[in-house]
Amino acid sequence: MPVLALDTSAAASAAVVDDTGRTLATRSSGETRRHAEALTPLLDAVLAEAGVDRTALTAVVVGTGPAPFTGLRVGLVTARTLGLALGIPVHGVSSLDALALAAAPEASDGADLLVVTDARRKEVYWARYRAVVGAGTAPSVEVVDGPGVDTPAAVAATGLDGVRLVGPGAALYPDLLPPVPGTPEQVDPADLARVALARLAVGGPGLVLPTEPLYLRRPDAVPPAAAKRAL
């Protein structure tokens, strides 16, 4: 029961996992600007590597951001189009959730995780999590606060004592947000799928995880205001 996961919150990336969350194939283009050109060939390549035909997919999982409007929209439209064409559900997962899950195995139970990614304009997207790590169960995370968008200084002012920083945003502002060596800096689309599978296992049959995008700020381009008519 293969699942396709894709993300365009930063670089275009995709993965195929089975229903246990095991990665069958994963690819990343490294392209952070021209997502529309990169994504379709990337999906073809990752499906071919996994040996999975599109018609065998049981679901699509897509990263919902937070991210700038243009790149994020490409992934969401592609995922929804695939789901509609194949007649399978499309589930949304925040890319911050995926980064937190990737960091959980190296954290202790109850550890505070702060995921920080680049929001441009000298700001960062952020969310706080609590790691849930127990014997005999797969690591998971609980959202404590966020997501939000702020300056690095504002995020640092919330308190970092005992907090494990995760994500590429910390590496951009190490003086304010000291990164922890070895923590994930890029979204693994397979982790998006694992988050979705865990939530679906709890939610039961028929649950669809919402795919509304997390922009967290207004787009850079806005339509011009209508000219006022003279009376």
The CA distances from residue 39 to 74, 77, 102, in Å, are: 8, 11, 23
* The pair of three-digit structure tokens given for residue 34, joined into one six-digit string: 């021209």
For residue 48, give the amino acid letter: A
Whether 224 shows a pLDDT value over 80: the answer reads no
Sign for the pseudo-dihedral over CA of 129, 159, 118, 109: negative
For the domain spanning 96-172, the CATH number is 3.30.420.200
Percent of the chain with pLDDT over 90: 71
Provide the CATH topology of domain 3-94+187-203: Nucleotidyltransferase; domain 5 (3.30.420)
Tell me the pLDDT tens digit for each residue of 44-93: 999 999 999 999 999 999 999 999 888 899 999 999 999 999 999 999 99
Q: Where in the chain is the domain with CATH 3.30.420.40?
A: 3-94+187-203
Q: What is the DSSP letter of 183?
A: S
pLDDT higher for 185 or 159?
A: 159
CB atoms within 10 A of CB 119: 21
What pLDDT was estimated at residue 38? 86
The DSSP letter of residue 105 is G
Residues of the chain with CATH 3.30.420.200: 96-172
Sheet harboring 163-166: ordered strands across? 140-150, 123-132, 112-120, 163-166
pTM: 0.89
